């Protein structure tokens, strides 16, 4: 039987207050008997008030909870010390149901009759614990993804000071996370890129969309890596910017591959021009041969002798110029840096390379430059390769001769170059995939189909665009747009 003092009834107002609490509340006496409970506990435990009030806690709580937690000992400790105990955790898993997690607090009370009571507050936080664990699992997974990435992944605060720096960043740069924490990102770039890096980060902070750039990352001992960067803002649940994230990819291997592909395409272009080159060199050689025959005559007039010598010199210079242009074009170039470039000069030099070829195939070539000089930031030999490829494609599209035009004009801050031919044209079904690698509409056994895809990648690298319009039987126009200074 329970002690009558353990079953003192609560005033109606207090009982209603307890019943309004959405958590479990129990009042326990010093003899560890239940004095009062709220409705929430009765519903969750599926017990009646009659079967609960006056019973000891070991009769009310599952034995497994009391055995695996210190609930009973903690209640006894609060009775002895008179001090509350808050924030304790206990978990319970009944057969056939999922694990439940509870937080509980024990608060001592003193009654008017001098007896002691404690209030036990228990809150079921199973769902909260499950969500917290899920969040931690997602966080661990995201952290693992970032740390396992082969690309540089870093984050900064709103001012551009580095906050995180993944393993790939440490490996590629030779700097640990501790070395770079708190430093401005721009300080880690090569000297010539610091100003632009600061400008890009300022644009992101001002609300700009994602920004891309290619900057060098010093790695110590005077070495550096060319890295392709993508920057974007990090925002909280309210849309407020809380920092920036940057992903950087080492372009070393890619640039080497691109260089090999460009060199292969150069050699293919030389093969296409071989016929015109041979024809153009044969003419000055024939002149030299004729002049030498005249010079072999010991009785040759002195004026004629001088004329023969002059013709030989002029023919040799002409042949030498043709060969020098070809060597300059075919020579592998490791110069991969943007520089101020005159687009007009690039187009003129490229047109000169195909002059022999258009003569052989009876094609009229017109170079129309709206301005004598047009400056932009570019890699000159790469731009020349783009336009040479477009010209050779146009020449191949006119096997029976025709007209080839290169028009340059300026529209606001863009340079527009149109390469137009009167050739066979391109079927509309091929226009969408003409810049895809290995796609070619010409039945050439030695073609790789890489020419236009290389052109596309080079123009993209120069922050420009390339497009084509064509009608079968009428010809094609390739348009290149490039930003100017």
* Residue whose entry in the numeric block shows the structure tokens 């993209």: 460
Q: What is the pLDDT of residue 449?
A: 43
Q: What is the pLDDT of residue 2?
A: 36
DSSP 8-state assignment for residue 56: B
Ranges of residues in the chain whose predicted pLDDT is under 70: 1-13, 94-97, 112, 220-221, 258-280, 321-322, 324-336, 436-451
Q: Indicate the CATH number for domain 255-483.
A: 3.30.565.10
Q: What is the pLDDT of residue 17?
A: 81
Q: What is the pLDDT of residue 138?
A: 83
Q: Where in the chain is the domain with CATH 3.30.450.20?
A: 4-126, 149-250
Annotation: CATH topology of 4-126: Beta-Lactamase (3.30.450)
Q: What is the pLDDT of residue 133?
A: 82
CA 394 – CA 388 distance, rounded (Å): 10
Residue among 181, 377, 370, 390 nearest 265 (CA):
390
**Is residue 84 a contact partner of residue 74, using CB atoms and an 8 Å limit?**
no
Query: What residues pair up with 230 in beta bridges, in sequence order?
Result: 212, 247
Read off the tokens for 197.
């890096």
Helix, strand, or coil here: 457? helix
C-alpha distances out from residue 98 to 45, 62, 123, 260, Å: 16, 16, 16, 61
CA 253 – CA 276 distance, rounded (Å): 36
Q: What is the pLDDT of residue 113?
A: 72
Query: What residues pair up with 220 in beta bridges, in sequence order?
Result: 223
Query: What residues pair up with 106 in beta bridges, in sequence order?
Result: 85, 120
Q: What is the pLDDT of residue 33?
A: 92
Q: Where in the chain is the domain with CATH 3.30.565.10?
A: 255-483
Helix, strand, or coil here: 241? strand
Q: What pTM value is reported for the model?
A: 0.46
Of the CA atoms within 13 Å of residue 37, those in its CB half-sphere come to: 25
First to last CA, the chain: 97
DSSP 8-state assignment for residue 10: P
Burial pattern 45-65, b for ≥16 Cβ within 10 A else e, equals eebeeeebbbbbbeebbeeeb
Burial pattern 260-284, b for ≥16 Cβ within 10 A else e, equals ebbeebbebbeebbeebbeebbeeb
CA 74 – CA 314 distance, rounded (Å): 109
Domain 149-250 CATH assignment equals 3.30.450.20:
yes
CA-angle at 126, arms to 121 and 132, nearest 5°: 115
Q: What is the pLDDT of residue 280?
A: 63
Q: Where are the alpha helices (DSSP H) in 120-208?
A: 126-148, 167-173, 177-180, 194-205
Give the number of other Cβ atoms within 10 Å of residue 377's Cβ: 15
Q: What is the pLDDT of residue 1?
A: 31
Q: Where are the alpha helices (DSSP H) in 354-399?
A: 355-360, 380-396
């Amino acid at each position: 039987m329970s002690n009558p003092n353990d079953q003192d009834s609560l005033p109606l107002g207090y009982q209603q207050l307890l019943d309004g609490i959405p958590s479990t509340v129990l009042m326990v006496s010093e003899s560890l008997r239940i004095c009062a409970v709220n409705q929430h506990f009765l519903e969750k435990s599926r017990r009646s008030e009659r079967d609960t009030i006056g019973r000891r806690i070991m009769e009310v709580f599952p034995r497994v909870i009391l055995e695996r937690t210190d609930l009973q000992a903690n209640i006894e400790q609060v009775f002895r010390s008179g001090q509350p105990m808050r924030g304790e955790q206990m978990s319970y898993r009944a057969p056939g149901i999922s694990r439940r997690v509870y937080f509980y607090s024990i608060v001592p009370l003193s009654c008017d009759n001098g007896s002691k009571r404690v209030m036990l507050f228990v809150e079921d936080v199973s769902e909260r614990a499950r969500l917290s664990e899920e969040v931690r699992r997602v966080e661990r997974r995201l952290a693992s993804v970032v740390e396992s990435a082969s690309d540089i992944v870093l984050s900064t605060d709103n001012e551009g000071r580095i906050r995180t720096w993944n393993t790939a960043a440490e490996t590629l740069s030779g700097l640990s996370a501790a070395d770079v924490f708190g430093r401005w990102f721009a300080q880690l770039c090569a000297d010539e890129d610091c100003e632009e890096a600061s400008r890009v980060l300022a644009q992101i902070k001002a609300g700009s969309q994602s920004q891309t750039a290619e900057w060098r990352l010093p790695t110590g001992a005077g070495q550096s890596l060319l890295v392709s960067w993508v920057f974007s803002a990090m925002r909280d649940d309210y849309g407020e910017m809380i920092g920036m994230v940057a992903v950087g990819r080492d372009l070393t291997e890619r640039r080497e591959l691109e260089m090999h592909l460009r060199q292969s395409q150069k050699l293919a272009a030389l093969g296409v021009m071989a016929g015109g080159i041979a024809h153009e060199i044969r003419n000055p050689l024939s002149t030299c041969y004729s002049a030498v025959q005249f010079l072999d005559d010991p009785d040759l007039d002195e004026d004629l002798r001088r004329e023969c010598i002059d013709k030989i010199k002029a023919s040799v210079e002409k042949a030498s110029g043709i060969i020098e242009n070809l060597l300059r074009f075919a020579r592998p170039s490791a110069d991969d840096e943007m520089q101020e470039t005159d687009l007009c000069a690039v187009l003129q030099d490229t047109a000169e390379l195909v002059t022999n070829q258009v003569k052989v195939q009876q094609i009229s070539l017109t170079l129309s430059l709206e301005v004598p000089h047009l400056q932009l930031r570019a890699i000159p030999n790469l731009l020349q390769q783009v336009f040479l490829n477009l010209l050779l494609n146009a020449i191949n599209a006119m096997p029976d001769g025709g007209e080839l035009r290169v028009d340059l004009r300026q529209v606001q801050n863009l340079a527009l170059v149109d390469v137009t031919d009167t050739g066979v044209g391109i079927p509309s079904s091929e226009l969408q995939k003409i810049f895809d690698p290995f796609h070619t509409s010409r039945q050439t056994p030695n073609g790789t189909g890489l020419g236009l895809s290389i052109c596309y990648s080079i123009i993209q690298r120069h922050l420009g665009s390339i497009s084509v319009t064509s009608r079968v039987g009428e010809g094609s126009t390739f348009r290149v747009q490039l930003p100017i200074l």
